[in-house]
Amino acid sequence: MKKIIKIKGLDCAACASELSEELEKIDGISHAVADFINQRVSLTYESAEAFERAVDVISHFEEVEIIDGNAPEQRESHLKEILSIAISAAFFVPALILTIVFGSDERWAFALTVSFWLISFVAAGWEVAVNAGKNAVRAFKDGFHPSVLLDENLLMLIAAVGAIAIGEYMEAAAVVLLYQIGELLQSFAVGSSRGAIRRLMEMKSDSAVRLTADGQEEVEPEALEAGDILLIRRGDKVPVDCRITEGESELDTKSLTGESYLKEVKVGDEVLAGCVNEGNAFKAEVLRPYTESAVAKILELVENSSSAKAAPEKFITKFARIYTPVVVLLALVIALVPPLFQDYNFPLWVSRALNFLVISCPCALIISVPLTYFSGVGALAREGVLTKGAVYLDKLASVKVAAFDKTGTLTEGQFSVADVDGGEKVLLYAAAAERNSSHPLAQAFAKIETSYTAEETEEIAGMGISCKICGHHVLVGSARLLRGHGIPISEENTDMVTVFVAEDGVLLGKIGIADRIRPNAAAALSALKRQGVKKVAVLTGDSEERARETLKGLPVDEIRARLLPDEKPRFARELKREGTLLYVGDGINDTPVMAESDVSAAMGALGSDAAIEASDFVLAGDDLSALAKGVKAAKKTRKIVTENIVFSIAVKVALMVLSLFGFIPLWAAVLGDVGVMLLAVLNSMRMRGKISVK
């Protein structure tokens, strides 16, 4: 069983990692992810007892509180932190002035200065001490957990108290003051990312106007059912996926596609939830309930995207667990061993050990790496590419081969009957047989009224339908289907899909089904190649002649035709030998090859639920041009993550070495630690910019 628990008060990546670790130790909890950015905990549990135990652990973890998921979200308040910093600074500044003017010559000035330093230390450091104390209690609960005890609160507290012990009062106050300023700035940065999620949440409409026999009524989107008629007024958000039945208008689709232009829509056009009506009012019929709408899929994907962590995130989490205890031991060695060989000069080496301890804090890594991935997920979402987790960004950045399904992916998938050979009975038989089919071709017959009813229907994957109509055995499908039943048939070279109809072993006629290439398909594939994709292939069940005719003009390097659904994975394995494989599809028959591919994407608007479930990415607006933007954003994300890891480790190692030789005072060590963290966080915020491809 799975459950999402909404929380508040989880304010750092290290704390989230600790909470996840504690939860996964509970018997009956198979998976737990605490997300400090989205303020939620994702649980997979086996029993009610395990869930209750998890709830107890969450509610007793530091200042974390479980909140009602339906309650309106409150903006974060940093008043307590700002007051602490302000009071500390109010005493720190005059103490610094007194030190500069009088030094330690005047006894009264020295006493007043020390008092101011200590007040400044208490004002900024009380929360650090409280958190360190709470962690010490938790660290020895149910065994010893060193990663819980040795967090940044304890490191800063040891450094500050150590500074006081050796008479460095100014440095003690500076340590906690600079640390609190860094924590506040970190909270602002994370809050900014949470704001991006809030703006995505605003895609959801709060209400919908449903038309009834008695007039109109205002209802929640969740109350709408397929077939309901809605009135979408100017300025309204489209609440669910629907089809226009009366009127025409212009829609702002930016929330789904990332594009700012308005899309013209008319009677018969499908409009997706989350779009905003910027033109005339129109009436529309609900196609799907809210839970199956485009906006619901987007919100669910974005909310859950932090659950699947990328390899660098997992590395940093493991690295911090080992790294922190090791540097604490090294600091103890630095403080205790060298003085034994230098006339017992403990104050000097204790000071250097404290510098080393402060600099070693891994905050920059454990904050900036997940924040970069989160920003990357948000950047893709703004471009209409939704990811199920940060882990897939790394795979997308490495794509060298892209394979596509043809129908509904490279083509529009909006089939219509273009030609009938054999009379009306052929068309009506086909309409009856295709009535309950999930195949995209069945759309061509959806609006054709027929008096016939198909019974004992069997859908034969990749070939067609076998059924009984009025007691006769009827076959509707490809030439291969009919030939398999002993009916001689030959295919013609045409750019239309041909559906053959046979009754009791005799060919009755054939129907031509037309489809069109998506207008931006050629540009989208070319843009993918400019982003480093070396090969574009198409895997289709269609004949090779028809596929080549249909795809004429597209920059496709290879076409694999006449493939059954179970044959596509075999060709996917061959393509994977040439590099990381991206597969893009839209139907149930694409799910096996999606599972075989390194990374996959589904068409969000027209794609089947099975394809969306099996894929790693979803193109919310069925816009192929978003793929190239997604690849570019994934590469940019990985580049920034690498920059932050290399920069943070390099600077910290340099500062550690300098601290060992006494070149850095304690306050400068804290400033260096905070500075590295802030630079890494600011670097991660570069992902907030718009992604564009030429």
Catalytic residues: 405
Using CA atoms, how far apart are residues 653 and 291, in angstroms rounded to an integer? 50
Token pair listed for 558: 């290879």
Using N-to-C axis directions, what is the helix angle for 666-684 and 625-660, rounded to 10°? 170
Q: How many CB atoms lie within 10 A of CB 158?
A: 19
The two tokens of residue 112 are 């007043």
Spatial distance between the Cα atoms of 55 and 47, rounded to a whole number of angstroms? 13
DSSP state of 72: P
3-state secondary structure (DSSP) of residue 25: coil
Q: Do the beta carbons of residue 443 and residue 437 sit within 8 Å?
A: no
DSSP summary character for residue 142:
T
Nearest Cα neighbor of 643 from 686, 688, 693 is 686
Helices (H), 435-520: 479-484
Give every CB contact of residue 657 below 8 A, 6+ residues apart in sequence.
none
d(CA 495, CA 240): 35
Is the distance from CB of 642 to CB of 635 less than 8 angstroms? no
Contact 18, 3 (CB under 8 A): no
Residue count (the chain): 694
Contacts of 388 (CB under 8 A, 6+ apart): 301, 304, 305, 308, 615, 616, 617
Q: How many other C-beta atoms lie within 10 A of the C-beta of residue 693?
A: 20
Strand partners, 270: 243
Structure tokens at 198: 């809030």
Sole residue written with tokens 């500069």: 100
The DSSP secondary structure of 75-115, one letter per residue, reads PP--HHHHHHHHHHHHHHHHHHHHHHHHTTTSHHHHHHHHH
- Distance (Å, whole) CA 401 – CA 229: 44
Nearest by Cα to 219 from 246, 211, 300: 211
Among residues 134, 126, 135, the alpha carbon closest in space to that of 80 is found at 126
d(CA 336, CA 330) in angstroms, rounded, equals: 10
How crowded is residue 692: how many other Cβ atoms within 10 Å of its Cβ? Answer: 9
Q: Which among 411, 381, 394 is positioned nearest to 626, based on CA atoms?
A: 381
User: Are the C-beta atoms of residues 404 and 539 closer than 8 Å to each other?
Assistant: yes
- Alpha-carbon distances of 261 from 94, 276, 385, 524, 603, rounded to whole Å: 57, 12, 18, 18, 21
The two tokens of residue 98 are 């007194």
